[in-house]
Chain A
């Protein structure tokens, strides 16, 4: 058939994760010494404690990453998968558009406004935010609402730690996140594809859950622009669209925020967006998914396989109604 298998390339050193590239990349690698060095080095991704090796030679490395017991040991998707197949409509609707056009985004300097029902509102610099907490590597499954999935080695810190710093009051029941609006930096915003800015939200207990993180990197490097630089949300038991990117505003709210996709099409996308094989999208099935890199579909797991940790958050709720 028309199918080509990914080629496994294992580094001979201690290699906690196997790293694979597609054949064309492999051939290119073989043909070019410079690239070969980079790809070879990509094998021992997190060997030891500090050296994290090149994915994108220009990117800043993130050092001294802690490992996490919450990480999955599933096979990682390649750096190319993670950084060239993105939904980030601020740069265009095609999945290749973010990688092509996100160069115009300037993730430094960057500040995040914190406001609403909290004791310490303010305007915080990204460089400072990244020093507040030890950075961890979190390898999570990511399930898109379009029925495909990846395994991604994020770098970040628990959202709970971030939230606690601002001393939310008892009135803070939800956290609302907002993406940058700037048509110069995000040319896709000149089109009214979505009502800009992109907005997402979590219930307070979801925000405080240990699985929920703010990511500032992936594959041991500073977050590439197309993946939501410099700071984004990752909630692994929810569909990918909950993972709002390039955040400029975090607000503690009394009432449930209206997230962008729900506003767009409330019958198709809800506030909760928990991965649920039993509740189909009105236009397609959510029972199975295609893991990028695989040819056949695999079954989708309730809460994306994180049910043991998170199902209790929704005890007694009708998940058909609160999709």
Chain B
């Protein structure tokens, strides 16, 4: 308990500030530094990759908890998920404002015509209900089971995000493939855990009431 309290009071604010770091870097460089020859591209790519990183971090929390038995990790899952949404929103807004001058018809045109945007847009839109229902109030209102089911949308978001990245690059798919492998491993961990749970010899992990299930 005391360790959980310490995590809440000390580690959480530190992690929160660290997660704001990439945003701080962008703001700093936009005003006092340098975002390179094509700043719009820098902002788009930078916010995009941080969205993906936070999606991966969020997906990693549960398997790492299983692996290490360090349960307070779960206290960070909502935060990292919301940071994924935060960077995703910055990413989408950069594109919406600077590529399409806030004209949604232009965005929609891309969504229907360009597979990489279709994938990215799906990934982003599916994060919206997750962000909205991330509060304790919504968990109570929906009930653990339904909430859980709804929040499985993160899997589609993760797949969409990787496909978006993979289809976007012109030639060098190294990094998209790395992220794809990461997401694949994190999915596999869940399948494996499920199989273990299903076997009768095992004592099930106690569900966390605030953030049940996967």
Contact = CB atoms under 8 A, between A and B. Distances in A.
Given A148-B38, A193-B172, A284 B114 contact: yes
Nearest to B169: A93
B37 interface: yes
A80 interface: yes
What size tier do the contact residues of chain A reach? Answer: 20 to 34
A292 B172 contact: no
A308 to B, nearest CB: 29
A84 to B, nearest CB: 6
B155 to A, nearest CB: 25
Interface string A13-24: 000000000101
Interface in B59-112: 98-99, 101, 110
Contact of B36 (A85, A284, A285): A85
Interface in A1-19: 2-4
Contact of B27 (A2, A24, A85): A2
Contact of A4 (B31, B98, B101, B115): B31
Contact of B33 (A24, A80, A264, A297): A24
Contacts of A95: 37-38
B116 interface: yes
Contacts of B43: 2
A209 B100 CA distance: 36
Interface in A282-302: 283-285, 290, 292, 295-297
Nearest to B97: A1
B38 A290 contact: yes
Interface size class of B (residues with CB under 8 A): 20 to 34
Interface string B23-37: 000110011011111
B206 interface: no
A273 to B, nearest CB: 14
A73 interface: no
A96 B42 CA distance: 12
B40 A85 contact: no
B71 to A, nearest CB: 38
B30 A2 contact: yes
B167 interface: yes
Contacts of B31: 2, 4
A73 B50 CA distance: 40
A64 to B, nearest CB: 31
Contact of B40 (A22, A264, A290): A290
B9 interface: no
Nearest to A99: B37
Contact of A292 (B33, B38, B98): B38
A242 to B, nearest CB: 16
Contact of A295 (B98, B115, B116, B171): B98
A115 interface: no
B30 A81 contact: no
Nearest to A24: B34
A127 interface: no
Nearest to A81: B37
B202 interface: no
Contacts of B36: 85, 96
Contacts of A148: 38, 41
A261 to B, nearest CB: 10
Interface of A: 2-4, 22, 24, 80-81, 84-85, 89, 93, 95-96, 146, 148, 193-194, 264, 280, 283-285, 290, 292, 295-297
29 contacts: A2-B26, A2-B27, A4-B30, A4-B31, A22-B34, A24-B34, A81-B37, A84-B37, A85-B36, A85-B37, A93-B172, A95-B37, A95-B38, A146-B170, A148-B38, A193-B171, A194-B171, A283-B114, A283-B116, A283-B167, A283-B168, A284-B114, A284-B116, A285-B110, A285-B113, A290-B40, A295-B39, A296-B98, A297-B99
Given A194-B171, A283-B168, 8 more contacts: A2-B39, A81-B37, A89-B171, A93-B171, A93-B172, A95-B38, A283-B116, A297-B101
Interface of B: 26-27, 30-31, 33-41, 43, 98-99, 101, 110, 113-116, 167-168, 170-172
